[in-house]
Amino acid sequence: MDKDNLLVALDVGSSKVAVIAAELSPEGVVKICGIGSARSEGIRNGVVVDIGGAVRSIRAAIDEAERTSGFHIEEAYTICEDHRMRFVNHSGATPVRGPEIAQGDLDSAVTNAKEVPLKDSEQVLKMVIQQYLVDGEGGILNPIGMMGNRLEASVHLICGLPTTATNLLRCVRRSGVEVKHWTVGAWASALAVLTPSERSLGVCLMDFGAGTIDITVHINNVVWFTAIIPVGGDTVTKDIAAVFQLNEEEAEHIKLKFGSADPSQFTGADVVDLTDIRRGNPADGEIEVIAQEKLAEVEEARLREMLKLAREWLQYSKFDQRIPSGIVFTGGVTETDGFLKLAEEVFEQPCRLGAPDVGQALGGAVNSPAWSAAIGLLKEAAHDAQREDHSGEHGKKGLGRGMLSAVRRWFVGSY
């Protein structure tokens, strides 16, 4: 296989590092050929706190993906989850200098839109163009060739310190892999789990991970709001550890195997035996069993608090009344039994769980909501590869193709 046809997605999260390798055929068929994962070290709430630990975790996941795929990985698409980033909607305008709108007018309007007030040492790190307006008429995607006197560009900006993404990218490079592109987790997850209809009508995606809750609102196929909240499933683990006097490794194991957000499904007879988990006789004063009802009460309380916090952020955005498609939840935390029921109770509007659907690739391992961001990255990488190829063959005609239509189908290979 030509190494230029190898696509790699790298999701460095607070609980795990996930890697997916795939082949892209000339016909736009994406075949997942390898995956790797490793327990994440050195990442807390999406921020690098230990470069050495992060590099070891990234390298371990990449090594596994190389073994399972049989290919050497040199570059990847990745995600930055730093909660210190600010997301700002802004606009800029320019007079149209010729008889019709030209590329220079677009460039001028976008440059002016990027002139947002910044805090000390901040920079504009990323930009998404939402729409153009010609003489006040909005919803225009490509105004080149149109007539008008005034052109305005509306943009969604990521603002942050120069080091905001640098530390994570440095960890990836130290693991021996170059970063070809980075994006925000919720934007990647949206590509994996949202339907075209939802993105068009208006939808909110909430990605509940181990260290952060990522929120994004899409209307008319454009992102209008993004937030990264520095709280996630790790908080539930800490609660379990504190309440039941466990270490965090034991608490995480219990959460994943026995966790639930619905205490009503258990009786007093339902218990978790800690003997096998601790692999030894209990010390003096240590509890030997946990009532599953009590465990679920602890999880339900913390998850309810997290959902209420997410609801407050959505209300703050002022887009809560503009999402007729409701709210889609994804991320590893959403696999908790009873999560959707609790979410519908908190938000009091249509909700659903979102997971990537790539058939039975690698035994269906990547169909979990915990892999949504990585699958979204892979789709973005495939789209960009096809766009580059298409623009090389046919010039600018290929640049307007939609991301989801460019990647026409996913081929499920054997593993």
**Each residue's pLDDT tens digit, 238-288:** 999 999 989 999 999 999 999 999 999 999 899 998 887 776 555 555 678
Residue 19 has pLDDT above 80, yes or no: yes
Q: Residue 287 burial by CB count (10 A; 0-12/13-18/19+): exposed, middle or buried?
A: exposed
The label of the residue with tokens 């994943």 reads: 256
- Average pLDDT estimate for 362-374: 83
Residue 314 has pLDDT above 90, yes or no: yes
CATH superfamily of 3-83+164-183+355-411: ATPase, nucleotide binding domain (3.30.420.40)
- Average pLDDT estimate for 50-77: 96
Q: What integer best gives the mean pLDDT of the chain?
A: 89
What is the Cα–Cα distance from 26 to 122, expressed in whole angstroms?
41
Residue 347 has pLDDT above 60, yes or no: yes
Query: For residue 199, what are the contacts with CB-CB under 8 A and spacing of at least 6?
Result: 190, 218, 221
Residue 363 has pLDDT above 70, yes or no: no
Residue 398 has pLDDT above 90, yes or no: no
DSSP state of 15: S
Provide the residue ranges of all domains of the chain, joining segments of one domain with +. Answer: 3-83+164-183+355-411, 86-160
Residue 350 has pLDDT above 70, yes or no: yes
Task: Could you please state the CATH topology (level 3) that the domain comprising 86-160 is classified under.
Answer: Dna Ligase; domain 1 (3.30.1490)
> Which token pair is 71?
């290919």
What is the Cα–Cα distance from 224 to 199, expressed in whole angstroms?
11
Sheet strands (E) in 335-405: 351-353
Q: What pLDDT shows up at residue 412? A: 40
